[in-house]
Structures are given as C-alpha cells and as structure tokens.
C-alpha cells in the first residue's frame, strides 16, 4: 500500500498557507484566492477531517496598508506591520468561513508559549476545545510581541510545532513551488520533483538549499526542518504547490502531488519514544498493585485511586516516574496535576476530585496517551 494512503486515513491535519499564496503580488490580501482556500478547507472539514490553519500574511497585509514596498528590517517596524495587518487577515478569514456557517478563532503564539510546559498545555487544551466545538483555529506567530530570541523564524516551523501540539496526523505546507526538487528548478530545467522520502534523509538538506521570497521568512530549507519537527510526533508532511487546482482535496485523496516526507515511526510510537527518552522526571508516584496491573496489562490511564503516595515537586505537564510498592519503575508519563494537587487526590476516586480541589482538570492523573511503560 502506498504511503500516500496516509492522507486518506488522516483525521486531523495542520494546513499552513504561505504569504506568497495569500497576497496579490505584495499588494495586500488576495480575497478571491483566500475565499477559494476556505472553500477547499471547508470541504476537507465536511469529509470528517479536523483542520488547524496556520496562516501567514499579517506582515504582508500590514505592509500594504501602510504603503511599504519592502519588508521591514527593524523589529519594531515588523511588529507594527503585523499589528496592522493582523486586523485585516483575521477579519477576512472570519468573513470567508462565515459564508459556510463556520466560526473561526484567532490563536497567536510565540516560542515561549510552547517551551513553557504549563502554557504549552493551556495552548493544547484551547486548540483541542476549539476543534471539539467545530471552530476552525487560525494560528499565527504573535509578531507584535516577538523578539529575535523567541520568534519561530517562519510559519513552517510554527506549523510543525502546532502539529506536535495537537497531535495531528499530518502537516500540509502549501507553497509557491510544486514541492521539493532535487535541484533548484529556477536554475536547472532538468530538476526533478522529489516524490517521497523519509524526513530524516540527509540528502534533503542539499536539495533544499536556496533562499526565501521577498515576503516570506522561510525557504525550502525551513520546510524540510519543519517536516523533521513534525516527524518527532509521528506526523507526515506534504510540501505541495498551493496554486494547483483543488490541491487540498487531491492531496487528501492520495494523488501523487508535491513531496511527501515521512516519519520513521507511527504517531503514537514516536510520541512514546519522546516521552521515554527525552524528558527528565520531576517526581515520583507510588502505585498500588491494582494500578500497576491495569497500566502494564490493560493499557489504561492512571487514575488517582491507584496512587499510594507522591514525592517531589512538579508542575502539571511535567514528567513523573511511576513505581510499584517495592520501588521498581513501571512507567513514566506527563502528569495532569501539580505535586500538591496530586497528593491531595491520591487514593481517591475520580468523582471526588472536585470535592477535594474545588475543580477538576482531568479525571486521570496521567492519560494513557501521555504514559509509556518502561
């Protein structure tokens, strides 16, 4: 079975659309083109796919409104252009989705939001809730507050991080090129489109060498890096020409368009490996025999009733070690409660969490998707 069938099975996608596709030769947003994108995305949603849109264009729209022909070089000017342009960008997306009876939501992120674990979890919860409500999240980098130290650098990277954040099946990067070529097609007439590779393939770095356009910050190199970031959570990436007719539907149907970059592992396996290998534990939960059995044999979540004691100081979303009563580590995972909260609800049934804490964040201390047996 072709790996292209992954697209047909995808149930959650992050779609990133670049500035060159949304703007009219740098003269502001191209409304008819943007309306066509919405029609395509709505068709995708109606087919049962959850969609998170990562949209460039705020700086380009701001430049147009301010009468600037060249992209700002100074950070404060970039921030000002983004602030002006974001108004038009969001209003336009909202108006177009409203034609189909859909609500959209603006989500502005910085690197700090995804490097701070608590803010990361809050962002993830917000995005998941929006998807559950049938709202289309429209994500952009918060250019109005970024500094050189925290900016993502390009919306390709942002798209990959959002794919990790919402545990998407795939990332679709729509660009002004037909995909990744083995040589620069602008310089070599015999350049060939790369159909399918592992995202980790080192040959991609040589193929992707080249610069970005006037309006965008990214080039093909950033798209390859984004694919590798997305692969960390098991997501595939498609880099494809956004001007191809009905490209979103055709990619979804597995048509041989663009470049498909694949993770080496499936989504769940990749996430479990990340949990097991790349995060330090911040505390320890001692589990009773019943909880150990359920985790190891049943593949279930860890409920507070199975926790005998809690040690260490940790925050919600940090990694903790789960041990049996003899001290043998049996699992580790991302905890849903701070240490003091976990101590308060340890040994109690989930329906008493509200009684003890005054609120309930999650019924589980650790959800099975965030837990790996060791």
98 appears as a binding residue in the annotation: no
User: Does 143 carry a binding-site annotation?
Assistant: yes
Strands 196-198 and 259-262: parallel
User: Taking a C-beta distance cutoff of 8 angstroms, is the pair 332, 281 a contact?
Assistant: yes
Residue 56 marked in a binding site? yes
What span, in angstroms and rounded, lies between the C-alpha atoms of 323 and 332?
A: 9
User: Residue 169 has which token pair?
Assistant: 């099946």
Distance CA 319, CA 307 (A): 16
d(CA 51, CA 137): 8
- The answer on whether 175 is annotated among ligand-binding residues is yes
Find all residues with CB under 8 Å of 96, minimum gap 6, and list them. Answer: 34, 35, 38
φ and ψ of 46, to 5 deg: -65, -20
Going through the chain in order, the beta strands assigned E by DSSP cover 12-17, 50-55, 104-109, 136-141, 170-175, 196-198, 236-241, 259-262, 281-287, 307-312, 319-323, 329-334, 371-373
Sign, CA dihedral 350-356-358-361, equals negative
Angle, CA of 129, 130 and 136, to the nearest 5°? 160
- C-alpha–C-alpha distance, residues 37 and 21, integer Å: 10
Partners of 23 in the beta sheet?
Answer: 29
Does the annotation flag 176 for ligand binding? yes
Binding residues for ATP: 16, 175-176
Binding residues for substrate: 56, 143, 155
Binding residues: 16, 56, 143, 155, 175-176
């Amino acid at each position: 079975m072709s790996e292209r069938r992954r697209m047909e099975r995808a149930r959650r996608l992050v779609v990133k659309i670049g500035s060159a596709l949304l703007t009219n030769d740098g003269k502001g947003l191209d409304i008819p083109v943007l309306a066509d994108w919405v029609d395509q995305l709505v068709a995708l949603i109606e087919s049962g796919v959850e969609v998170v849109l990562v949209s460039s264009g705020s700086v380009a729209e701001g430049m147009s409104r301010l009468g600037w022909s060249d992209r700002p070089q100074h950070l404060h000017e970039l921030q000002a252009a983004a602030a002006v342009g974001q108004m038009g960008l969001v209003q336009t997306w909202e108006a177009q989705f409203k034609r189909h009876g859909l609500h959209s939501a603006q989500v502005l992120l910085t690197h700090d939001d995804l490097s701070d674990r608590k803010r990361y979890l809050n962002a993830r919860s917000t995005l998941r809730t929006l998807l559950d409500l049938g709202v289309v999240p429209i994500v952009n980098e918060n250019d109005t507050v970024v500094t050189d130290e925290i900016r993502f650098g390009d919306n390709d990277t942002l798209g990959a991080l959002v794919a990790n954040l919402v545990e998407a099946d795939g990332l679709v990067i729509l660009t002004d090129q037909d995909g990744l070529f083995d040589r620069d097609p602008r310089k070599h007439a015999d350049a060939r489109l790369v159909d399918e590779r592992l995202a980790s393939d080192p040959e991609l770095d040589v193929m992707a060498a080249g610069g970005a356009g006037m309006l965008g910050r990214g080039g093909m190199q950033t798209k390859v890096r984004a694919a590798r970031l997305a692969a960390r959570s098991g997501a595939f990436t498609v880099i494809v020409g956004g001007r191809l007719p009905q490209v979103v539907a055709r990619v979804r149907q597995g048509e041989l368009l663009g470049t498909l970059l694949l993770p080496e592992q499936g989504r769940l396996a990749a996430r479990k490996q990340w949990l097991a290998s790349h995060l330090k534990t911040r505390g320890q939960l001692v589990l009773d025999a019943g909880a150990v059995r359920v985790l190891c044999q049943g593949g279930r979540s860890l409920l507070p009733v199975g926790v005998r004691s809690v040690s260490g100081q940790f925050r919600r979303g940090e990694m903790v070690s789960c041990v049996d009563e003899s001290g043998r580590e049996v699992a580790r995972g991302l905890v849903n409660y701070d240490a003091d909260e976990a101590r308060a609800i340890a040994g109690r049934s989930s329906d008493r969490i509200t009684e003890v804490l005054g609120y309930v964040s999650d019924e589980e201390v650790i959800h099975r998707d965030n837990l790996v047996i060791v």
